[in-house]
Amino acid sequence: MTGLRPGRLATLLCGLVAVFLLMPLIAVVPVSFTSKRYLSLPDGDWSWRHYAALFSDPDWGRSLWTSIEVGVLASSLSVVLATAFCLGLWMMRPRFGGLMTGFVLLPMVAPPVVSSLTLYFFLNKLSQWNSLIGYDTLGGVVLAHTVMVVPYAVIVVMVSLGQLDRRMDLAAQSMGASVPTRIFGIILPNIRFGLLGAFVMSFLFSWDEIGVTLFVTSVNTITLPRRMWMGLRDNVDPSIASLSVLLILVVAAIVIGRAAFAMRAARSRR
Amino acid sequence: MRPTLFLICPVLLFLGLSYLLPFLGIVQLSFTDPQPGLAQYRHVLSDPLTLAVIWRTLRLCIIVTVVSVGCAYIITLLWVRGTPVIRLLTELCIMIPFWISVLSRAFGWLSLLSNRGLINTWLKDAGLIDASIQMTRNEFAVVVGMAHYLIPFAVFPLATAMRNVDERVLTAADGMGASRLRIFWQIFLPMTGNGIIGATLLVFVFSIGFYVTPALLGGGQSVLLAELIYLWIFQMPQWGMAAALSVVMMIAVGGILVALMRRNAEIAK
């Protein structure tokens, strides 16, 4: 058995890949402490100025708030749409269910730039008759993000419905429960963690979305990734290094925490 | 059963109105703007500049795909078959970058590779070079950045394939006296072939329409297809051309995905 474990060469190569994967995340740490106004390493004098700039500049705060608003609205909308869709498929099992699912997953598999162009075209048209949900508005970004994240919500809800025992619903049905009772009394309470997962997943993808956002916003509605993009494109602003460090710390804490939790759970099971 | 129809329809209606219909609008534009006919397609498929971008994109995407799948294979091998400690470490190395914003990751590479970046500073301090080596705003940086982004995506199909390998086959080969190298080349690698094909197609499809990393690390020097579409829309309004190129891209990617699904359906049988 032990002879079939990966050998030294594989471990060495894997180490190199691991270094490759982690290097850029570590590289931003020293850069974030530079005292200069351009991208550089702190030569002797370390400084917190770019962290301070992050907290004192109202633009960053505004963008943070925009991202949260867009994320919450888009993921709420996408979870409602996705849950209704999956429930319909699960309860009715219609003939073209596979085809419908394929259609709903389309924005996930289409090339991002094609989706961006399509949504830009769509919001431009909307702008002509409604100023609230058109190009470069909060409503417009929410709409575009909902299109992009709804496939992820559908996948998560579908997986949790797949794990649900159908007999529970059949029992309720045979006792004469109406469709709303079955949905709100039986099915939804049983997949509540799946719904929460779908919300978190949609929020994370909306929070990070940049490809489409670049096409559908310009000056009024600037999400956090959009502001990072602006700071990277024109002249590399070290504030982005400090923001990146903060974001990396949050992600690392969550991932490591999850791994530790999973390990503890595995140990207690033994 | 009628009420359930009201459940399925909203999302279909929503995506139909806000995604399918506008896409059909794009298709229409590709045939009508600026003049009706196939001129836009003729231009996209014959203009030397556009063709150069298409070839560069294909070439870079192939390189990126090979690098990503190769790296992903090695790290997945350890993630699936290593000792528990190694498994945990590799999982962290895969998952942390996966959840970090594509912009932070591109910025990390800029910090490492740019003229005043970490690598140039180290090399200068060590006295190995006098002037900075240009490592950004070129294809090298684009390949590095895109591979870094895509490795975690390649990991998932590979992990599924490796988990499905029957342990007993490997033990049998070991028992018959096959060398470790032979077990890997003649048994393990072919048995994970479907995972490799799946990962390759997935990474390739993802890399073709990818905009952010190439635009940042290429610095406008090596324009790829997605950036060309962006330029056509926002710099020199040429909607028809951008639309035609998008349609071509959609058809190419759709073809690859249909082939992938056919394959999977065959395997499932």
What is the pTM assigned to this prediction? 0.92
Chain B contacts of A106, Cβ < 8 Å? 15, 19-20
> Is B81 in contact with B90 (CB distance < 8 Å)?
no
Q: Which of A3, A27, A147 sits opposite B15 (nearest CB)?
A: A147
pLDDT tens digits for chain B (269 residues)? 567 788 999 999 999 999 999 999 999 999 998 889 899 999 889 999 999 999 999 999 999 999 999 999 999 999 999 888 999 999 999 999 999 999 999 999 999 998 888 899 889 888 888 888 888 889 999 999 999 999 999 999 999 999 999 888 988 998 898 888 899 999 999 999 989 999 999 999 999 988 999 999 987 778 899 999 999 999 888 899 999 999 999 999 999 888 887 877 777 66
| Residue closest to B111 by CA, chosen among A234, A245, A241 | A241
Using CA atoms, how far apart are residues B13 and A111, in angstroms rounded to an integer? 22
Q: At what angle do helices A112-127 and B239-268 cross, to 10 degrees?
A: 130
Q: Tell me whether residue B261 is exposed, middle or buried, using C-beta atoms within 10 angstroms of its C-beta: 0 to 12, 13 to 18, 19 or more.
A: exposed
Q: For residue A64, how many C-alpha atoms fall within 13 Å in the half-sphere facing its CB?
A: 11
> Is A72 in contact with A86 (CB distance < 8 Å)?
no
Mutation target to probe the B interface, by most B beta carbons within 10 A, among A14, A85, A99 is: A14
Chain A contacts of B116, Cβ < 8 Å? 38-41
Mutation target to probe the A interface, by most A beta carbons within 10 A, among B1, B9, B11 is: B11
Chain B contacts of A225, Cβ < 8 Å? 101, 103
Chain B contacts of A228, Cβ < 8 Å? 101, 103-104, 107
Q: How far is B256 from chain A (nearest CA, A)?
A: 11
> Is B229 in contact with B53 (CB distance < 8 Å)?
no
- pLDDT tens digit sequence for A49-71: 989 989 998 999 999 999 999 99
- pLDDT tens digit sequence for A213-241: 999 998 999 999 999 999 888 777 888 99
Using CA atoms, how far apart are residues B204 and B217, in angstroms rounded to an integer? 19
CB contact under 8 A, A84 and B78: no
3-state secondary structure of B131: coil
CB contact under 8 A, A6 and B82: yes
Secondary structure (H, E, C), chain A: CHHHCCCHHHHHHHHHHHHHHHHHHHHHHHHHCCCCCCCCCCCCCCCCHHHHHHHHCHHHHHHHHHHHHHHHHHHHHHHHHHHHHHHHHHHHCCCCHHHHHHHHCHHHHCCHHHHHHHHHHHHHHHHCCCCCCCCCCHHHHHHHHHHHHHHHHHHHHHHHHHCCCHHHHHHHHHCCCCHHHHHHHHHHHHCHHHHHHHHHHHHHHHHHCCHHHHHHCCCCCCCHHHHHHHHHHCCCCCHHHHHHHHHHHHHHHHHHHHHHHHHHHHHHHC
The pLDDT of residue B136 is 86
> Is B7 in contact with A102 (CB distance < 8 Å)?
no
Q: Which of A5, A121, A211 sits opposite B81 (nearest CB)?
A: A5
Mutation target to probe the A interface, by most A beta carbons within 10 A, among B4, B251, B257 is: B4
| Residue closest to B29 by CA, chosen among A124, A105, A129 | A124
Using CA atoms, how far apart are residues A210 and A66, in angstroms rounded to an integer? 13
Chain A contacts of B209, Cβ < 8 Å? 110-114
Mutation target to probe the B interface, by most B beta carbons within 10 A, among A17, A126, A129, A247 is: A17
Q: For residue B255, how many C-alpha atoms fall within 13 Å in the half-sphere facing its CB?
A: 5
Using CA atoms, how far apart are residues B61 and B210, in angstroms rounded to an integer? 10
- The confidence band for A4, taking pLDDT boundaries of 50, 70 and 90, is low
> Is B109 in contact with A231 (CB distance < 8 Å)?
no
CB contact under 8 A, B242 and A117: yes
Q: Which of A5, A119, A125 sits opposite B82 (nearest CB)?
A: A5
Q: How far is CA B97 from CA A227, A261, B9, B94, in A?
A: 21, 19, 37, 6
Using CA atoms, how far apart are residues A241 and A247, in angstroms rounded to an integer? 10
Q: Which of A39, A94, A107 sits opposite B111 (nearest CB)?
A: A39
